[in-house]
Amino acid sequence: MTFLVLAALLAAPAWAGLCPGWGEARQVGELAAEAIPEASGLAVSKAWARLYHINDSGGGPWFFVTDMRGTGRGKVFVEGFFPWDTEELALGPCGKATCLFIGDIGDNAVRRSEVAVALVRERKEFPARVPALKVLRLRYPDGSHNAEAMAVHPKGDLFIVTKETPRKKGTRPAKVFRLAKAKVMSKGDAVLELEPWGELDVPAFTGSKDKFGRIVTSMDIAPDGKSFLLLTYRDALEFGLDLSEGPVPAEPAEGKGFVRVPLKPLVQQETVVYLPDGSGFLYGTEFVPNRAPEQKAPELFLVPCSRP
């Protein structure tokens, strides 16, 4: 073991800050299927009572604005952004402002030499077209990865968790990568290298025998930065870890380091976001009409957190 690896492990933060009790999921809204048929990213504003959404690959440089129930939509074009496979959406600091981070991080063929994240300043009213504040060009240090999970810490660091699909020998742990705040806000358009930030053995944590219950599809960091959520196609995991304090430690104990959050499974669920006051989280489905004839629209569900 090298000195740097050992130092990182010794400096790893303690696991803490979990919700003491997650409630049952209940439907609180739905999206317009004709506008957002493949909802693959979800963010909730801390300044106004509204949600932001993106479509999956092929959705282009657009995002959508709705109320908290998914209605009253507006469609906004992002100038200077040419995405390949948009998969995730987050809100976070960008200097003295707050930005939408639109994650062009999908790579089903695992062959992209770089991925991208567009930053758009949040504002009270969005015109039909807005310029990207900047477009981050990112590269993994160990080759290409497919990913659908990305979040921005309240302190400004950006995190990506890879999407590891089942293989003959099982499903590999998901890898965590970081882009430090200083690089997020750096000038220029050079390709930035992501920093390895540990691994999460999602198959072991979920204990799921269903292969779809082992695949990470979305991510969000709590408003206070002290915990984060990972969504799979079946359930969710909450980890009591402040990712800004150090790399992910190995083998957290269930009930201390993480908890499983049983969900009502939706068709291809791929969006999750904490509510701004930490009272729960929303999750939703990448609804595709021809794949889910029994479902009429992309649904939004709320999972409440009971705190003393």
Q: What is the domain partition of the chain in residue ranges?
A: 3-304
Written as six digits, the tokens of 161 are: 């968790």
pTM for this structure?
0.92
pLDDT recorded at residue 294: 66
The residues near 296 (Cβ < 8 Å, ≥ 6 apart) are 30, 33
- Mean pLDDT (10-residue bins), the chain, 308 residues: 32 63 95 87 96 88 96 93 96 97 96 98 97 98 97 98 84 94 95 97 88 94 96 96 91 82 91 95 82 74 89
The CATH number corresponding to 3-304 among 3.30.1150, 2.120.10, 1.20.1070, 2.40.10 equals 2.120.10
User: Side by side, which strands form the sheet with 39-44?
Assistant: 39-44, 51-55, 62-66, 74-79, 129-131
Q: Which residue is listed with tokens 């000038």?
A: 187
What is the CA angle 235-160-89, rounded to 5?
Answer: 75
Q: Which residue is listed with tokens 């000195």?
A: 3
pLDDT recorded at residue 290: 64
pLDDT recorded at residue 288: 65
Judge contact between 295 and 287, C-beta under 8 A: yes
